[in-house]
Amino acid sequence: MTKTLVIAEKPSVAQDIVRALTPVAGKFDKHDDHFENEHYVVTSAVGHLVEIQAPEEFDVKRGKWSFAHLPVIPPHFDLKPVDKTKTRLNAVVKQAKRKDVTALINACDAGREGELIFRLIEQYAGGAKPLGKPVQRLWLQSMTPQAIREGFEKLRSNEQMAGLADAARSRSEADWLVGINGTRAMTAFNSQGGGFFLTTVGRVQTPTLSLVVEREEKIRKFVSRDYWEIHASFAAQAGSYPAKWFDPQWKKNSDDAELRADRVWAAHEAQAIADAARGQPASVTEESRPTTQAPGQLFDLTSLQREANGKFGFSAKTTLALAQSLYERHKALTYPRTDSRALPEDYVPVARQTFEMLATSGMAHLAPHARTALEGGYVRPSKRIFDNAKVSDHFAIIPTLQAPSGLSEAEQKLYDLVVRRFMAVFFPSAEYLVTTRISKVEQAGKAHHFKTEGKVLVKPGWLAIYGKEAAAEVPDAKEGDKGQNLVPVQPGEKPLASQVDPKALKTKPPARYSEATLLGAMESAGKQVEDESMREAMQEKGLGTPATRAATIEGLLAEKYMLREGREIIPTAKAFQLMTLLRGLGVKELSRADLTGEWEYKLAQMEKGQLSRATFMAEIAAMTERMVRQAKEYDRDTIPGDYAQLSAPCPNCGGVVKENYRRYACVGKPGAEGCGFSFGKSPAGRTFEPQEAEQLLATRKIGPLEGFRSKAGWPFTSEIVLKYDDEAHNYKLEFDFGDDKKAEESGELVEFADESLGPCPVCGAPVHEHGSNYVCSKAVPTAAQPTPSCTFKTGKVILQQPVERAQMAKLLETGKTDLLDKFVSMRTRRAFKAHLAWDKEAGKVNFEFAPSKFPPRKTPAAAAKTGAASARPVSAAAKKAAKPAAAKKAAAKTPKAATAKAPRKPAAGKAPSPQLAAVIGAEPVARPEAVKKIWAYIKAHNLQDPKDKRTIVADDKLRAVFGKDQAGMFELAGILGQHLG
């Protein structure tokens, strides 16, 4: 009997498919890597199992990155397995090649990326010739059993998916061409002066970075201007009411966006208006009109990420992970990686069933509103909600018919956000009565007008779902002249201007991007679009897709092009340097977000069959060639840009020090030439912020700073000093490792004289002071362990904040320090408060911000229910690491002698486990000796990964010891400790 192979994207989805098919297709037998019955074989990938690569003759290794090898535009792409998942790939390919498997079903996620994952596996399985088995597509919007069964009844043909498959491959190949060539060309350009200065660029990430840099440039160039508002209080018979002066003749000036009808630009003029109006009676005119406010549209992924970032401070990555969990694991939400905000027109009955589920679900805070909607007949056809023209491959994110249980706090918050929005779109609009009152004061033949606006909530409509039942809770209530209930003024009454005062204010620069506003800018490729319908039209020309935007932002943060400070996203000096380079070379496609947005639009056209793959790839190849040519043929000494002049003088001659593209250099005193003093802007691959360069010049010392990389690619921390060189008769920049240098460079053994501060959070060994750091005793060479096996190290001074011994001891015991208040940001020069906390996931000490620093916005009614938001955690893993029990457990593993001041005695030999004995022999052995023996075995059998020598690829014997296919070199000591009795 022939069978059909179903390939899902993840194991959990494969299990869901099996559970859904069992009632209709029969019981499945479970095997190691697949499920099988009479009709189907069900297996899964684990994300991408195969990636594209250039053919061998086109591949250029890292050490040979030069213009001579560029551009790399291969005629076709080969495939290579993803190293970490080779075993899974082989298992899937084995099933695909079975003779009794005569057809395939692509059950990967319903989107461009899911299509690519399957297509590359299918191509790899075929080898030199196509696999030749017919393919159908399972397209799931929901993961409930019923939805899966319906999906199998409506499988799509391979021809229907051809456009999506072309777009998926084109996106992947375009990213490779631009990323590889761009990164190599910019790295080659930046490394011309020597060294290796890795400069990464990407088809989507670099234009996204340009948005952040352009915003920061506007902020830096912004010149604040003084202006005045005139605020008044009028006394009527029924009470007083506030008002603000305005000019009724004012007209908007497009040349100066700061001008407003209620702003005065001279102090004396504002004071004159206030003095003239004070104590005078006013004639009052009023106009009242009803107005409505419609609810927001249903969520797509980007709008959900923006809302969750604004309300809860969730990063885009976190929101996507939570939504994916609610879709995949809990079956509570529909497919989240969508760019649609509408539902299919035949979905009205499903929406009604969803309300019925919510009404009877037991969710007390949601059920009453669901019952109100059902009793009021709110669920009915509406083009605003149900519109086939606005539904692409996916529809909006809504709750499924399955009520969830066992949600985490964060999952519950996101689920509630989606459910409330889903219900709100069916509810009536909120109704207000808006009253505009003009109080006119006439004095000495001149009229002064003051405006007051009152807004009264008449019918809450959809706002009731959010607990907004009263006028005091209207969304746009503002102090002064808007949102308040107005006391009545009788006909003919002339209230007195009892108080009139000018208020001095300053214009403000544009706000920095938060993750929410950056996602919005990516969605519209940087075009400032306020109108929601216009923003929808721009979505097709956005940067990336809803599914990839979070990863793009995280990639820029990981590459240190941007950093998060609270909820603000700030570009680093490295980002400014890259944008200066791209602009100077004329690579507009990567330095202008709107141009790159066109590519995403073309990919969307390809999905619909309106653009050929060949045409798109020819454009990408031409752009790649032009980008490399611009860098290769650039023949000037420096790149033009907006460079800084430092205020600190040259240490050698007292002249002026100016920035250029590559260096900070002395240009001499007025009328004289420079003395030759200069230092590179990016020593060891870390770019100085202008403030850091300023401090280095002023004090001739800065640090310790993190983020440097050695020639071998290892990260390190160091102080930077300017030292006088007798031979050159000038100052030069040097790294200063302090007391650490002795051990780290010479290999000299370290003896600790201080008492241990506590157990290392990585391996449990004692932590001591050493030079300018706190280090694990196993992170430096000691008599007991000449070869370091741990990585724990953290500075005694972090961003100008001294970290006392008592605070480090507290961090090691509880997971975090007290709230420290002397940190100073190198980028903004602003002081900030934070805890230092152990981040197990990142493997280092990180910041954890106090709850009060960036409180989430919340509705008045919700405030009482949810309480104050907790601090933005370092990570979920860091919370676990902070538990005292974990620290006590680590301390229990620490030998008592390890905390004594006297030199440690050699550790006694311990019997190895049978698994370890098979590698190093059965003789009792101390852990340092066991490490040496296992290293001898690793080197003898050539088990180090050739691409990353720090990774050991296990053979059968080591797999029994490691419990997995590979291990990092720094894990060895910990693993062996578990095998020594």
> What does the pLDDT average to over 519-546?
66
Residue with the bigger pLDDT between 137 and 749: it is: 137
- Residue 824's SS3 state is strand
pLDDT bin (cut points 50, 70, 90) of residue 755 is: confident
Q: Is 343 helix (H, G, I), strand (E, B) or coil?
A: strand
Please report the pLDDT score of residue 738 as a whole number: 63
- 39 neighbors 102 (Cβ within 8 angstroms): no
So what's the pLDDT on residue 859? 42
Hunting for tokens 């003088």 — which residue is that? 649
Given a cut of 50, whether residue 16 has pLDDT beyond it is yes
Per-residue pLDDT, averaged over 388-416, amounts to 89
Q: What does the CA dihedral 616, 617, 618, 622 come to, rounded to 10 degrees?
A: 110
CA distance 898 to 891: 11
Asked whether the beta carbons of 34 and 154 are under 8 A apart, the reply is: no
- The length of the chain is 981
The pTM for the full model equals: 0.68
Q: What is the pLDDT of residues 263-302, one digit of tens each?
A: 999 999 999 999 999 999 999 999 999 999 899 999 999 9
pLDDT tier at 829 (50, 70, 90 boundaries)?
low
Q: What is the DSSP string of 287-339?
A: EEEEEEEPPPPPB-HHHHHHHHHHHH---HHHHHHHHHHHHHTS--B---S--
Contact (CB, 8 A) for 510 and 219: yes
Determine which of 31-40, 57-66, 384-393, 446-455 has the lowest per-residue pLDDT on average.
Answer: 57-66
Distance CA 448, CA 144 (A): 65
Q: What count of other Cβ atoms lies within 10 Å of the Cβ of residue 158?
A: 13
Nearest to 299 by CA among 419, 407, 388: 419
First-to-last C-alpha distance (Å) of the chain: 54
* Residue, of 969 and 450, whose pLDDT is higher: 450
Asked if the model's pLDDT at residue 719 lies above 80, the reply is yes
The pLDDT assigned to 411 comes to 95
Quick: pLDDT tens for 147-199. Answer: 899 999 999 999 999 999 999 999 999 999 999 999 999 988 888 866 677 88
Interval 422-436: pLDDT, tens: 999 999 999 988 899
pLDDT at position 535 over 60: no
Given this model, what pLDDT does residue 887 score? 43
Distance CA 621, CA 770 (A): 53
> Residue 60: what pLDDT?
64
Provide mean pLDDT across the span 852-868.
43
Q: Which of 40, 241, 335, 347 is catalytic?
A: 335
pLDDT tens digits for 784-813? 887 788 889 888 888 778 898 899 999 999
Instruction: Inform me whether the pLDDT recorded for 410 exceeds 80.
Output: yes
The closest of 227, 245, 229 to 503, measured between CA atoms, is 229
Kindly report the average pLDDT of the chain as a whole number: 84
C-alpha span between 976 and 928 (Å, rounded) = 10
581-602 as b/e: b if 16+ CB within 10 A = bbbbbebbbbbbbbebbebbbb
Look at the block and give the residue holding tokens 């059920």.
Answer: 367
Segment 951-979 mean pLDDT: 81
SS3 at position 814:
helix
pLDDT band at 254; cut points 50, 70, 90: low
Residue 873 has pLDDT above 50, yes or no: no
The full 3-state SS of 596-633, as one line of letters, equals HHHHHHHHHHHHCCCCCHHHHHHHHHHHHHHHHHHHHC
Instruction: Give catalytic status of residue 335 as yes or no.
Output: yes
Q: How many helices and strands in the chain, by DSSP H and E?
A: 29, 35
Sheet holding 820-824, edge to edge: 820-824, 831-839, 844-848
* pLDDT(119) > 80: yes
Spatial separation of the C-alpha atoms in residues 442 and 497, rounded to whole Å = 11
